[in-house]
């Protein structure tokens, strides 16, 4: 037997080899699990989310600022709600509206200011739902609160019947006021499937009508813009199942303003 050779573990090249491998491993973990996932998309996710996304585990989604567990609205489209809507008395609603509502929403249901929404031509369900949401505080009632707090459930359905009975002043309008923006028109008629945006017309008419979806044709431009921004940021969150927030969140500021111009322009007769 010759003199004992240096055992592999004592060989200095072994230590270098182990050290290099360990350093490579640390670098690979840092790049693959932390740096790459966190460099994806806007708003770098937290470290834990980055690791989860790297190894394919579900990542927590940011929540809209709504109190935990609170429903978006106390209104549900049940048979009972439809019965309440059917009991609305339009002429009693008209006299209720004459005392206060008309000052802002106009005797013909057309807002007297760009921030006061038009109510004429909207469905009973849409008017009823918004009034109930103001009453329960599900929709910010900073302005409307004072006018709805004294209303009884019967008053609400009478007012809804009244506004729904007013003729839609924009039904026959040519919409010649604003040049039609192709991008807005596409969103309205087709949506944007890649971003999960359904066509506005599929819920707001004329293609389809989701219960409670307000009519938008001829609506005040400034009002539309404010509401879309509030739905996008989540400060307005009374839409059942976040139907509208999930659309608004996907829209850019430019699209919001083009859509507001498009819908308000549809009611233009040239003079508005
Ligand atoms: C001082 C002006 C003012 C008065 C008076 C007023 N409103 Fe309003 N209303 C508003 C404004 C502004 C909004 C938009 C929402 C907001 O900013 O709170 C609104 C929103 C609404 C909406 C929601 C419309 C939509 O498309 O979402 C309904 C319905 C409504 N008002 C009905 C009424 C009724 C019924 C009365 C009378 C009982 C009334 N309003 C009195 C200013 C007024
Ligand atoms: C999946 C159906 C759906 C689609 C698609 C949709 N909406 Fe809505 N939208 C709703 C519903 C439902 C409401 C009523 C929310 C509530 O109950 O307050 C609403 C509310 C709104 C409001 C507030 C109106 C008011 O008077 O209070 C605006 C503005 C609006 N949508 C614009 C749009 C635009 C623009 C698009 C297309 C980019 C769009 N919506 C697509 C269902 C939809």
Cα(248) to centroid of ligand 1, in Å? 21
Ligand lying closest to the C-alpha of residue 93: 1
**Confidence category of residue 7, pLDDT binned at 50, 70, 90:** low
35: pLDDT strictly greater than 90: no
104 lines ligand 1 (CB under 6 A): yes
Ligand lying closest to the C-alpha of residue 120: 1
Report which protein residue has its CA nearest ligand 2's atom 14: 213
Cα(36) to centroid of ligand 1, in Å? 49
Inter-residue contact 224 to 216 (CB < 8 Å): yes
Q: Which pLDDT score is estimated for 10?
A: 74
Report which protein residue has its CA nearest ligand 1's atom 2: 104
Domains of the chain in start order, with CATH, are 73-169 (1.10.760.10), 173-272 (1.10.760.10)
How confident is the model over 180-239, as pLDDT tens digits? 789 999 999 999 999 999 999 999 999 999 999 999 999 999 999 999 999 999 999 999
162 lines ligand 1 (CB under 6 A): no
Lowest mean pLDDT among 57-66, 74-83, 227-236: 57-66
Ligand lying closest to the C-alpha of residue 187: 2
Rounded Cα distance, 129 and 141, in Å? 13
Inter-residue contact 239 to 225 (CB < 8 Å): no
Compute the residue count for the chain.
272
117 lines ligand 1 (CB under 6 A): yes
Cis check: omega of the bond before 206, within 30 degrees of 0: yes
Place of tokens 């059917």: 86
117 lines ligand 2 (CB under 6 A): yes
Alpha-carbon radius of gyration of the chain: 29
Rounded Cα distance, 258 and 256, in Å? 5
| Nearest ligand 2 atom to alpha carbon 73 | 17
Average pLDDT estimate for 150-176: 88
Mean pLDDT of the chain: 85
How confident is the model over 12-28, as pLDDT tens digits? 887 888 888 888 877 77
Rounded Cα distance, 196 and 183, in Å? 16
| Structure token pair of residue 185 | 């028109």
Partnered with residue 209 across adjacent β-strands are 204
Cα(153) to centroid of ligand 1, in Å? 17
Ligand lying closest to the C-alpha of residue 134: 1
Rounded Cα distance, 130 and 194, in Å? 31
């Amino acid at each position: 037997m010759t003199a004992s050779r240096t055992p592999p573990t004592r060989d200095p090249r072994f230590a270098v080899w182990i050290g290099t491998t360990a350093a490579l491993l640390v670098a690979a973990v840092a790049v693959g699990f932390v740096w790459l996932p966190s460099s994806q998309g806007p708003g770098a996710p937290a470290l834990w989310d980055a690791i989860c996304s790297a190894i394919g585990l579900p990542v927590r989604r940011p929540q809209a600022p709504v109190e935990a567990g609170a429903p978006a609205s106390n209104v549900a489209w049940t048979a009972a709600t439809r019965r309440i809507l059917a009991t609305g008395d339009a002429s009693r609603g008209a006299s209720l509206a004459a005392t206060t509502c008309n000052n802002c929403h106009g005797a013909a249901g057309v807002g007297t200011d760009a921030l006061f929404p038009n109510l004429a031509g909207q469905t009973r369900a849409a008017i009823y739902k918004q009034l109930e949401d103001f009453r329960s505080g599900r929709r910010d009632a900073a302005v409307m609160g004072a006018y709805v707090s004294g209303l009884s459930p019967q008053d609400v359905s009478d007012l809804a019947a009244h506004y729904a009975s007013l003729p839609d002043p924009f039904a026959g309008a040519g919409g010649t006021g604003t040049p039609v923006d192709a991008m807005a028109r596409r969103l309205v008629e087709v949506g944007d499937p890649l971003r999960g945006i359904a066509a506005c017309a599929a819920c707001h008419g004329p293609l389809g009508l989701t219960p409670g979806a307000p009519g938008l044709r001829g609506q005040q431009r400034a009002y539309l813009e404010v509401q879309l921004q509030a739905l996008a940021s989540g400060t307005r969150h009374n839409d059942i199942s976040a139907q509208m927030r999930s659309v608004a969140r996907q829209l850019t500021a430019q699209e919001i303003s083009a859509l507001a111009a498009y819908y308000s322009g549809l009611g233009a007769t040239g003079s508005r």
